[in-house]
Structure 1
Amino acid sequence: MIGYYGDIHFETNDSRILTFSDFQRNTASRWAKHEVIGKKPTSEFIGPDLDTISFTIQLNGQYGVHPLKEMDRWLVKARAGSAAKLVIGNKFLGVDKWVVKSVSQMWGTILNKGQVLSGNLDIELEEYVERV
């Protein structure tokens, strides 16, 4: 297994290939700018911002996945606003959990009766820190 996000498992084996590419993680910090008359503003570090992660999932029905079903799973996660752990290898990413901020579907090869044989998903996750 490559990793997982909630109940979605990324894996490659003899019967199924569900993995991602173009994995990108962005980290930023938060800053306040205080205006000073006659001088340049002063900067104040507020704290870390939420990380974001984006990646592309290539779906192909010839590799044991159902592209539309996989697309729908991500769509449901985005619309539900639920948070889940993201694990790559044996490493938990982020402070706590991640939410699906956006899902972009690209239907590639479409067969008779609208069956999607292949396509891509562009996923954007945002770190979710639960307060106690």
Structure 2
Amino acid sequence: MIGVWGDVVFTVSDKKINTFDAFKRTETARWSKHDIHGQKSKAEYIGLEAGKVSFTMHFSAFHGVNPIVELDKFIKYARSGVAHTLIIGTKRVGVCKWYMPGTDQSWNHIDNRGNILTAGLNITMEEYV
């Protein structure tokens, strides 16, 4: 097991490949600048913005997953507003849970019966504080 978010298990085995790539995490601080006449502006640390993570997943019927089932699972998560702990390896990512405000799907290969054979999914999650 590579990681987990809710009931999504990121894994690679000889029967199934269900993992991610291009994982990116962003943490941003909030600062305010105060104008002072005749002097440089003064910066004031306000606090942190909610963290963000993004990654891409690729689903292939040739690698033991049903792409439409996986895509529908993520649509369900985006529509339901659930938040789960994100774990990569043995480490929790951040201190809070993560929610998924939406997904961006690509149906890459479709057979002559309309079955999705390969698909891609871009996911962005935000820290639930």
Tell me which interval the TM-score lies in, with the shorter structure as reference length: over 0.9
Partner of 2:73: 73
Equivalent in the alignment of 1:128: 128
Q: AA paired with 1:68?
A: I
- Which range moved further: 27-36 or 87-96? 27-36
The SS at the match of 1:117 is strand
Measure, in 1, the Cα distance between the counterparts of 2:97 and 2:108. 31
Output one character per residue of 1:28-48: Cα deviation in whole Å (capped at 9) or x when no partner. Answer: 101112222333321100112
SS of the equivalent of 2:76 reads helix
Equivalence for 1:43 = 43
What residue number does 1:99 align with?
Answer: 99
Counterpart of 2:90 in structure 1 is: 90
Distance 1:83 1:11 in 2: 20
Within a 5 Å distance, the mapping from 1:2-41 to structure 2 comes to 2-41=2-41
Deviation at 1:27, TM superposition (A): 1.1
* Identical-pair percentage: 41
SS in 1 for 2:70: helix
Provide Cα deviations, 1:68-92, integer angstroms capped at 9, x if missing partner.
Answer: 1111111111121111110001111
Structure 1: which 5+ runs fail to align? none
- Pick which of 76-85 and 35-44 moved more: 35-44
Which residue identity does 1:96 align to in structure 2?
A: C
Corresponding residue for 2:62?
62
Q: Name the CA distance, whole Å, in 1 between partners of 2:32 and 2:76.
A: 36
- 2:52, 2:101 → 1: CA distance? 9
Structure 2: tracts of 5 or more residues without a match: none
RMSD: 1.1
Counterpart-to-counterpart distance in 1, 2:7 and 2:61: 20
- Residues matched between the structures, number: 129
The CA distance in 1 between the partners of 2:108 and 2:7, in whole Å, is 25
- Identify the structure with the greater strand proportion: 2
